[in-house]
Structure 1
Amino acid sequence: MTPLLIILLVGLMAATAYVLVRGIMAMASGKDMSGEQQQNYMRKRVLFQGIAIMVIALILILAGGK
């Protein structure tokens, strides 16, 4: 179970980094980005980070039970 959670965690970390870089690139490109698009990037990043934190907590709980 733990290897599956670690793979999931790595995927969530990659997704967080991707959304973060994509948001930064969009802002740095100088395009007129609407506030809604910026908020959408931020919401996705926070969502992925939150899920990753829950997976980390689950990994620690499972590791502590052994």
Structure 2
Amino acid sequence: MTYLLAPVIVILMIMVVVSLVRGIMAFLKSTRTDLERGDAPGASEMQLLQNRMMFTRIKYQAAAILVVAVLLAVAKS
């Protein structure tokens, strides 16, 4: 079981980093877009992408924590 869960943790960690980088890139683009568009109401496409990427990062982190908890439970018994 340990041999199965270790690669899963690594994959989840990679996905966390990928979603974090995509979220930061969307943040930088949305900042540039906000300066160009002025006082337009509502969220821009980049801001929505930024929110989706950060929420995705949180989901991957939660999944990684659950896998670590299962790994610890298996190692304890």
Is the structural similarity TM-score above 0.5? Answer: yes
Q: What runs of 5+ residues in structure 1 fail to find an aligned partner?
A: none
For the pair shown, the structure with the greater C-alpha radius of gyration is: 2
Task: Show structure 2 runs of 5+ residues with no match.
Answer: 35-43
Q: How many positions carry a matched residue from both structures?
A: 65
Inter-partner Cα distance in structure 1 for 2:22 and 2:48: 15
Residues 9-64 of structure 1: per-residue CA shift (max 9 Å, x gap): 00000000010011112222434553321210111000000000000000000001
Give the partner amino acid of 2:49: Q
Counterpart mapping for 1:1-66 below 5 A: 1-29=1-29, 30-31=32-33, 33-34=44-45, 35-65=47-77
Give the TM-score, by structure 1 length.
0.86
For the Cα contact (< 8 Å) 2:24–2:50, is it kept in 1? Answer: no
Q: Identity over the aligned pairs, expressed in percent?
A: 38
